[in-house]
Amino acid sequence: MSTGSRNLWEAWARSVPPLACTSTREPCHDPAATATSLARAGLAGQYVVYESEGGVWHFAAGSDVSVTADATGITARAAGRTWTSRTRRRPLTAFAAALDALSPVSAPPDESGEERRFYGWAAFELAHLLHADPATAGDQPLLHAMVPSVEVTLTADSTVVRAVDEAWARKVADLLAEPGRSSRPAEQTFHDEAARDRTEDVIAVGTAAYGRAVTRTVRDIRAGLLEKAVVSRRVPLPAEARPDFPATYLAGRRANTPARSYVLDLGGYRAAGFSPETVLEVGDDGRVSTQPLAGTRALGADPAENERRRVELLSDPKEIHEHAVSVRLAWDEMAAVCRPGSVVVEEFMSVRPRGSVQHLASRVTGRLRPDAGPWDAFASLFPAITATGVSKRAALQALARHEEGPRGLYGGAVFRGSTGGALDAALVLRTLIGAGDEAWLRAGAGVTAQSSPDRETEETCEKLRSVAPYLRFSLT
């Protein structure tokens, strides 16, 4: 990083107020409902609810401090001021440099002595700059992060509130003190009674065109252009529909078993999602982990049928091949940033329930090299293999040929990180997404040489059933 860029981001970081006020309260009876209720309160222009490992919910809100990068430029805001710089088609490098400036070396730490945290997202099209054709990345924002004015961490043991000042702390304390707020079911606030009845009509949109895209992709694979591609289809909601994102999130979270979940209004996107896997998890100690899921069967209410499908999944040559090549590439991408000999497969081909489906799941872990940080790992692993294919470059080129329009947030990541080096990034799948006046779902399936268009189309329907039945709409 040049001296000019370093000075620019250090000036920005010094303008970012610390979360100087910290208080601890009794635990909430229902952390998911409490976090969702805080999201609904409209405390600030941007908010995120992020469920991390172990049933911990984080709510963060703010409007004043953010960083946004596209292919050509980056903009940071704080204290009513704006800082800009060119990215020269390396937006992740510039983005990481800006966030790194928040470390205590450049900016005063919180009075509690704790590191600073940030929340954000990465659009799928960032992948084209990292691994494929930069011209395909487009001109829309690729990365966005918010440094919150207030953060609430909800666990089984306590509720911790951190805020930039007493005024913010009081706002949140008043909301938490409202009778019944921690257990009031937000999904009952707005409820379109016909939503469940329309589920199958919603998820059937575009299936014929999707089958043709699968056929074209299989042809490419058999011609030797690539080994696997995760081809997806977009399912737009009716123009008159006005999704209630917090209500959809809480209703869907009650019925799903995600690795991570989130609801947000952040950087131009609204989203409510139930991520089946993480793109990566990086700890303060340099341990890095990724969890590829590939291979799918439906998961329903009949235990005997679920077991039959589980056995079928574990013995299906197409599904096993699809999963194995994903794990192989995950290993290679981890090895590129980890200490020699530290990369291991800690779990291989387990079956994990994820809402309306069950997946083959593996976990690959390692230790970052001394000269590598969390964003180096992110650059190597993003986007998740299970949202792109093998090889990643060839798969991205195939998706550009066979999918309609850019993916945007779908197949990208929602993340929570800290200046201490931690980064937790959820893969954006099983998600209701909105931007402007539009809202949509999206789902994909891993296409290999053995793929059948009918089976891959049905797999997208199985995945969409993790979200579509729980859509809730505003009546106003």
User: Annotated catalytic sites, by residue?
Assistant: 277
Q: Is 13 helix (H, G, I), strand (E, B) or coil?
A: helix
Angle at 272 between CA 266 and CA 273, to 5 degrees: 120
Residues facing 161 on adjacent strands: 23, 152
Give dist(CA 120, CA 68) in Å, integer: 9
Residue with tokens 């387990």: 350
Give dist(CA 210, CA 443) in Å, integer: 11
The string of DSSP codes covering 98-150 is: HHHTTSTTTSPPPTT-PPPEEEEEE-TTHHHHHHS-GGGG-SS--EEEE--SE
Report the amino acid identity of residue 191. Answer: H
How do the residues of the chain divide into helix, strand and coil, expressed in percent and rounded to 5?
35, 30, 35
Q: Is 429 helix (H, G, I), strand (E, B) or coil?
A: coil
Report the amino acid identity of residue 395. Answer: A
On whether the CB atoms of residues 210 and 447 are closer than 8 A, the answer is no
Q: Which residues, in sequence order, are CB contacts of 340 under 8 Å at separation 6+?
A: none
Mutual angle of helices 166-177 and 31-40, in 10-degree steps: 120
Give dist(CA 190, CA 28) in Å, integer: 23
Give Cα separations from 376 to 93, 282, 310, 325, 472 (angstroms): 9, 11, 36, 22, 38
Query: For residue 189, how far is the Cα from the chain centroid?
Result: 26
- The torsion angles phi and psi of 390, rounded to 5 degrees, stand at -140, 130
List of E strands, 5-135: 21-25, 46-52, 56-62, 66-69, 73-78, 81-86, 117-122
Give dist(CA 20, CA 12) in Å, integer: 18
Residue with tokens 């250090």: 10
